[in-house]
A and B are shown apart, each in its own frame.
Chain A
Amino acid sequence: MQAIIVTLILMTLSWQSYSTEGLVCYVYLPTTDRPRAVQDGLSGAYPNVSFVVFGRFQEFRQRVSHENPDAILTLPLISQEVEGYQTVLQGYAQGQSSQALKLLTVGEQTQIAEEMVVGVVDLLGRRAMQEHTAKMLNLKSVRVRTVTKLEDLLTLLQFQDVDAILVQSSTVPFFINRSRLDLHAHALNQSRLGLPSIAIRVSGSGTGKRVKEAFVPLSSEIQALLGVESWQEP
């Protein structure tokens, strides 16, 4: 009888060990697709990884700090702010690990000035986004309105709640195709944002190797979803 109980306990323990063998990766990426669609895409491409995709930066940050997943897939700007994680794979597109930022306005005229109100997707929390946006625009300070979803930026322009929106250059066609407003994209000198990267929990031994093995296949669907063409070690 005792042997049966011991066997059952061992079976339970071994099942638990097996069930947590897969990597857990938390994801936050400001894309045009909903978290549901991103989760479906990633889970289909990497069935051995359990993904949890977040639609809001604050929720992502809170859950990562409380639950310490094996890996996080997000923009380097965000992963740098998360304690205890180290980048092991950096996304590249067209040979670069970052992309240019553009200022989108209604009408051609724009004058970058401190009194302007700029709409941005919240990547760091409001205070940090104010500093980051000012830095990207080469200003001392700037007024920002933060939104959760990319398309909410267009709403800010439609209602003239902001003077301009700050976006990644890859998303400019999304706005141009979606709207009939007279949108103009303005290049910003040397203002760039890193492409998605994967960081692992520093204390997770062997996780780096498993992450690299898991994420190396990069199908065309995943390339389109993440906006990266290849992964490289930093």
Chain B
Amino acid sequence: MARTMIFWWALCLSYWPAQSAERFSLLILGPDSAGFQEVVNALPLELGSEFTITHRIVNERTSFERYMQYIEQIKPQVMVLMDNVSINYYRRYQHIHSQPEKQIPAVAAMALFMDQAIDGLNQVVGIRYEVPAVISLVNLRDLMEQPFTRVGVVYRAQTKPFFEQQKLTCSREQIELIGVEVPSQSDKMNKQLKNALSQLIKQDDVDALWILNDSALLTEHALTYVWLPRIRRFKGPVVVGVRPLVEKVPLGNFAVVPDHQGMGKQIANLIFEMVEGGFDFDGPKVFNPVSVETILNYRQARKQFSINSEKLGQVDLILSN
């Protein structure tokens, strides 16, 4: 009898906190690869006990029917949509379920071209994945003994709006972005690239280069026959946006990449703001990433520019290969 009483007491006590405190249901939809997992792992720590978090894997192999099942089963009050597949499916979901009560507020992250990806979606805010030039270049400037002002960029015609936006934010930090445009598509892309780099390095005499994460500009052929031969002759910092280009391919000497744990915190901030605002989010729709990780290829970099050794402690990873 006593054991039965203890059992019932224990059962009642275990239910008590769940009933006394309201917990919001949060559904994360996205892949489970390394970078995504870092963001997913950061969220419970950041959001604390106010949320019940469920993660369902969504990738190219996930059907739209399965995607809808996840939402119908979990019935979340707020969602995190990671990558373009989850966002595109949500567009279809909102199109089918146009009733206001079915419109679930969401934060979108880890997707390319976020502005276009969430354009027209209801109650969805996004965080861009591309690291803005101003963050990368201010990090670099702080590390150097000789500050720079003129930074060269090659961009394709279709990314001109992105370049113009970067140019504006850099100007506030007194950094002049000098861009050379190449066609969005061309049979002679390598020749266009050669001319663009020659112009920046020889004619415009830029102090540094910022290389965009544009797969059309960084093909294997272009890297081998255009970028690497010309970069070898350039004396100055070369900033890239992915680790392999500073570690495996000797293109850049300084890389600035998204900090996935920081991304988790930024998502959590937006979720809290949604909850505090009664899920009526009327602020800006797309935000820049706030937190980055810096990687310095020290051996390469010190040949190209003078580094303030007192600032090395501020670099996340120093490669000496």
> Which chain A residues in 143-163 approach chain B with CB under 8 Å?
143, 145-149, 151-152, 154-156, 158-159, 161
B262 contacts which of A145, A152, A158 (Cβ < 8 Å)?
Answer: A152
Tally of A-B Cβ pairs under 8 angstroms: 82
Q: Which residues of A contact B138 (CB under 8 A)?
A: 154, 158, 178-179
When A154-B138, A179-B138 are in contact, do A126 and B173 touch as well, CB less than 8 Å? no
Task: Let me know if A181 and B173 touch, CB within 8 A.
Answer: yes
How many interface residues does B have (CB within 8 Å)?
32
Q: Which residues of A contact B288 (CB under 8 A)?
A: 155, 159, 161
Which residue of A has the minimal Cβ distance to B272? A126
When A146-B269, A179-B138 are in contact, do A56 and B261 touch as well, CB less than 8 Å? yes
Task: Let me know if B262 and A59 touch, CB within 8 A.
Answer: no
Contact with A along B34-69 (1 / 0, CB 8 A): 000000000001101000000000000000000000
A148 contacts which of B139, B169, B174, B262 (Cβ < 8 Å)?
Answer: B262
Q: Which residues of A contact B285 (CB under 8 A)?
A: none
- Which of A15-23, A29-37, A131-139 faces chain B? A29-37
B91 at the interface (CB under 8 A from A): no
Task: Let me know if B269 and A145 touch, CB within 8 A.
Answer: yes
Closest chain B CB from A144 CB (angstroms): 8
Q: Which residues of B contact A122 (CB under 8 A)?
A: 265
Closest chain A CB from B262 CB (angstroms): 5
- Main secondary structure on chain B at its contact with chain A? helix
B112 at the interface (CB under 8 A from A): no
A161 to B291, CA, bound (A): 13
Task: Let me know if A155 and B314 touch, CB within 8 A.
Answer: no
A159 to B287, CA, bound (A): 9
> Which chain A residues in 163-190 approach chain B with CB under 8 Å?
177-181
How many interface residues does A have (CB within 8 Å)?
35
Task: Let me know if B134 and A158 touch, CB within 8 A.
Answer: yes
B291 contacts which of A34, A152, A158, A178 (Cβ < 8 Å)?
Answer: A152
> Which chain B residues in 128-181 approach chain A with CB under 8 Å?
132, 134-135, 138-139, 141-142, 169, 172-174
Give 19 CB contacts A-B under 8 Å: A33-B314, A41-B313, A56-B45, A56-B261, A125-B48, A126-B268, A146-B265, A147-B290, A148-B265, A149-B259, A151-B139, A155-B290, A158-B135, A177-B142, A178-B138, A179-B138, A180-B172, A180-B173, A181-B173
Chain A residues proximal to chain B, CB less than 8 Å: 32-34, 36-38, 41, 55-56, 58-59, 62, 122, 125-127, 143, 145-149, 151-152, 154-156, 158-159, 161, 177-181
Known A37-B312, A155-B135, A178-B142; 19 more pairs at CB < 8 Å: A32-B314, A33-B313, A38-B313, A41-B313, A56-B261, A59-B45, A126-B48, A143-B273, A143-B276, A145-B269, A152-B262, A152-B290, A152-B291, A155-B290, A156-B290, A159-B132, A159-B288, A179-B138, A180-B172
Closest 9 CB pairs of A and B: A37-B313, A33-B313, A58-B45, A180-B174, A155-B290, A152-B290, A152-B291, A178-B142, A180-B173
